[in-house]
Structure 1
Amino acid sequence: MPIPPDSRLRLVQGDITSRPVTAIVNAANSSLLGGGGVDGAIHRAGGPQILEECRHLRERLYPLGLPTGKAVATTGGKLPAKVVIHTAGPVWHGGHQHEAEELASCYQSCLKIAAGRQSESVAFPGISTGIYGYPKKEAAAIAVREVRQFLSENEFPQVVEFVVFDDESRRIYERELA
């Protein structure tokens, strides 16, 4: 009998780079070469190994950059997580340029990678809610919906964490998870 999806969901407020999970998700830019926010923090904490693998991925598979909504995995470098799943989220343009579908695709792509690696646990930041400007409430609704759907149909990952940095985001996710 499958485990109910909600018993596999966690909400954590803190630093995603310190989470003791199998994999963390990086809200990356399409270049895969680091940036600000969560992306920059992951690259700084994980060390040069992550950037090196990202450069190889760009050269071999994504010379024009990682397409929005897609995901790719690298080592976790010096992070507690063994794997970093990088996904290129959509930039918010008012919600009329397929942003919701692209954001949903980010979660689906990341979860497929985690399941394919039989990752016990994966931690997600709020993809696209920083510099990309996606409204936090709408993004959280998509995140929770997509993760619940995936967990209802898949054994792995066994636990999914939503890692938020601030009180506002924590309250938004608490409402979505209620």
Structure 2
Amino acid sequence: MTDDIKEALLSLGEEKKPRVNRISEFIPIQPNIRRFVNQTISPLLDEAKTQKVFVESKNPTGLILHGLSDIVMKLKQKINSIINEIKQNITTSHLQLSSTESDLFRVDAYKLAKSIERETNTIIRDIAADKASSTLKTNENDTSPAITVVVNSRGQAIAVEKGDITKVKNVDVIVNAANGTLYHAGGVDKEIADAAGPALDQECRQIIAKNGGLPISAGKAVKTTAGNLPFKCVIHAIGPQYNDDDQQARPLLFSSVLSSLRLAECESYTSVALPAISSKTYGFPLEDCTNFVVRAVKQFFADYPQSHVKKVILLDMDDAACNSFAREVVIDHRNALIEDDDIINYELSPLTAKWCWQDDNGDKINDENHARQIEAASQHYLKTFCMPTWDSRISLIRLSPTGHLPMAKVHCNFANMPR
């Protein structure tokens, strides 16, 4: 009896602790209505914090609520009710944009699209980007999106991008910064040749052979297969070498770009990517280079208002080149294009003979820049010195050093030279 009373008394002193049940609930929210939902439920979430409900909002597919079961379930019910109401009232329109229009929206991490969203209280989704992000893993080596895109009233576009030209996406052809001999010595020229494989190099040799062994003149452009690269062809723009006192370099650079785009137009290509031609290997000042490249592209679009080529991408791995391109494309060059007739129509006269020089080490070099120096010296010699007869069998002339040309034995074929 005593034990029973003791147990009863002890049980009266015990406080019955309530049982606490904590849960986590996920609320799915579609990306296309996420911003509308966040705006509407913001007061509910503030209230939830006062009731010690923790909200995870970083999940891109929805919200996660952590807290007491009864509070969480009531909050979930209210949020789902708001989501359903938004779904019923929202209007969705699908717009089919051209490649150029899509680029405009993607520039600077969708800056234009975000501005439109804020002003109109709408949500703009890039369906292609959504699909890509859900099916592809991020590749650290992918090229960056467009830095700048400008479009004229006819829908012709110039885009500036940073990246490897051998990996540029969605273009028909790429332009190579080539030399007159089509020998791939270095820079972007060698990168393209290495990526394309032996087929491109073989066609380059054939082009020089068909040209009588002479280098292609600066300012011109030729095309070859793209080999292993995923393009319809590679266009080789023969850029000029730059010297401070050389008045020919600028118009020749302009001509090389214009010739490349005209060649692409003749083949009915719709998109072209090209680098800062002559800027590195050939020593062209960067600002001058990008200025003349951009002006040449704009001149092409002015000359061909209904062109097949609708998009030109100016692309380089160098930040300085990309920034310089970006500054140039937004400048109005229309007055400059009208005034520079001497640049637009500039063309080098063809070489009259095949020239090469042999240095003290015995290395033969067939270079257009040196060939033109030698020919100029030879023509000056012919005009200055009286020679009653000219023996076409002469095949060796000894020249004194002039300018950058060292003492050299000069071999030539005078078959086509004036006498």
Q: TM-score range by the shorter chain?
A: over 0.9
| Distance in 2 of aligned mates of 1:6 and 1:146 | 17
Aligned length: 176
The structure with the larger Rg is: 2
Structure with the bigger RCO (C-alpha within 8 Å, sep 6+) is 1
| Distance in 1 of aligned mates of 2:155 and 2:290 | 15
| Distance in 2 of aligned mates of 1:88 and 1:60 | 17
1:73 aligns with 2:223: yes
Map of 1:105 onto structure 2 = 255
Q: CA distance change for structure 1 residues 6 and 172 in 2, over 3 Å: closer, same or farther?
A: farther
Contact 1:28 1:88 (C-alpha < 8 Å) held by counterparts: yes
Gaps of 5+ in 1: none
Contact 2:156 2:301 (C-alpha < 8 Å) held by counterparts: no
1:17 aligns with 2:169: no
Q: Look up the SS of the partner of 2:273 in the other structure.
A: strand
Which of residues 269, 272, 279 in structure 2 aligns to 1:129? 279
Contact 1:91 1:132 (C-alpha < 8 Å) held by counterparts: yes
CA drift at 1:80: 1.7
Which of residues 308, 330, 340 in structure 2 aligns to 1:156? 308
1:140 aligns with 2:140: no
| Distance in 2 of aligned mates of 1:5 and 1:66 | 34
- Deviation digits for residues 22-45 of structure 1 (CA, Å, limit 9, x no counterpart): 111110111112120010000000
Q: TM-score, normalised by structure 2?
A: 0.41
Q: CA distance change for structure 1 residues 168 and 140 in 2, over 3 Å: closer, same or farther?
A: same
Q: Which amino acid aligns with 1:103?
A: L
Q: Look up the SS of the partner of 2:227 in the other structure.
A: coil
- Deviation digits for residues 108-160 of structure 1 (CA, Å, limit 9, x no counterpart): 11011000001111111111001100011111111111101111232121110
Q: CA distance change for structure 1 residues 137 and 37 in 2, over 3 Å: closer, same or farther?
A: same
| Distance in 2 of aligned mates of 1:5 and 1:100 | 28
Map of 2:320 onto structure 1 = 168
Contact 2:223 2:236 (C-alpha < 8 Å) held by counterparts: yes
Which of residues 70, 82, 91 in structure 1 aligns to 2:232? 82
Q: Percent identity?
A: 36
**Stretches (4+) displaced over 6 A:** none
Q: Which amino acid aligns with 2:246?
A: H
CA-based RMSD: 1.5
Q: Which amino acid aligns with 2:329?
A: L
Which of residues 175, 187, 192 in structure 2 aligns to 1:42? 192
CA drift at 1:7: 4.7
Q: CA distance change for structure 1 residues 95 and 14 in 2, over 3 Å: closer, same or farther?
A: farther
Q: Which amino acid aligns with 1:15?
A: D
| Distance in 2 of aligned mates of 1:149 and 1:131 | 25
Which of residues 94, 105, 124 in structure 1 aligns to 2:244? 94
1:33 aligns with 2:183: yes
Q: TM-score, normalised by structure 1?
A: 0.93
